[in-house]
Amino acid sequence: MEENRTNSGHGMGVAALIMGIISVVVAFIPCLGLLAFFTGIVAIVLGAIGISQASRANAPKGLGIGGLVTGALALLISIAQIVFFAGFSKNFDFIGDRIEEAFEEVEKDIREDFEKGDFKITIEDGEDKIEIEGTATKKDLRDKLEKLEGVELEKEGTEEEDTTGQK
């Protein structure tokens, strides 16, 4: 007796497999994982319909199963990406706040050191290192500033004389 096999469900199985493969490829592309969520669902639905049609007609179910499996895989990868990025974005504010607090602490320390008059600045880049040290009280800094302002005023006075043509 000859077994009569039809191609029932074959078209849906092919469509499911194509959508499943596209979904898996898209799922591995960062930021497009959300799109793979939807195409994965379509592949699962098409695969289930293809398997159902093939079962009723006693036809091969391989393409439908392949589409169902690849769609499910893409859906899992997509969900994993969504969960990862949701968790990352949730913690991003925390990380930003900690960085801001660290900058504020460094600024506070620098201001305190300058107000005390003792400071040391170290800049490192690989093997290169530059250190700047200074000690001065506010009175010393004011005296230097007044001295510099006096020199500046003298320079301005000589420039005015030069513009008038008198020496």
Does residue 46 fall inside a structural domain?
yes
Of the candidates 72, 81, 77, 79, the one whose C-alpha atom is nearest the C-alpha of residue 17 is 72
So what's the pLDDT on residue 91? 65
Q: What percent of the chain stands above pLDDT 70?
A: 74
Does residue 107 fall inside a structural domain?
no
Does residue 103 fall inside a structural domain?
no
Tell whether 80 and 124 lie within a shared domain: no
The string of pLDDT tens digits covering residues 35-61 is 888 999 999 999 999 999 888 888 888
Tell whether 85 and 119 lie within a shared domain: no
Does residue 44 fall inside a structural domain?
yes
Q: What is the pTM of this model?
A: 0.52
Range of the domain at 123: 113-162
The string of pLDDT tens digits covering residues 74-91 is 999 988 888 887 777 666
Q: Which residue has the tokens 């195409």?
A: 39
Name the domain count of the chain: 2
The string of pLDDT tens digits covering residues 95-112 is 777 888 888 888 887 777
Q: Which carries the bigger pLDDT value, residue 132 or residue 161?
A: 132
DSSP 94-131: HHHHHHHHHHHHHHHHHHHHHHHTEEEEEEEETTEEEE
Q: Is the pLDDT of residue 1 over 90?
A: no
Does residue 105 fall inside a structural domain?
no
Does residue 108 fall inside a structural domain?
no
Within the chain, strands assigned E span 118-125, 128-135
Can you name the residues that pair with 133 across neighbouring β-strands?
Answer: 120
Token code pair at residue 85? 């990025």
Distance CA 15, CA 117 (A): 76
| Long-range contacts at 78-84 (CB < 8 A, ≥ 24 apart) | 78/23, 78/27, 78/33, 78/34, 78/36, 78/37, 78/40, 79/37, 81/27, 81/30, 81/33, 81/34, 82/33, 82/34, 82/37
Residue 124: band (very low, low, confident or very high) from pLDDT cuts 50, 70, 90: confident
Average pLDDT over every residue of 146-152: 72
Tell whether 16 and 82 lie within a shared domain: yes
Does residue 73 fall inside a structural domain?
yes
Average pLDDT over every residue of 116-135: 77
Does residue 34 fall inside a structural domain?
yes
Tell whether 83 and 148 lie within a shared domain: no
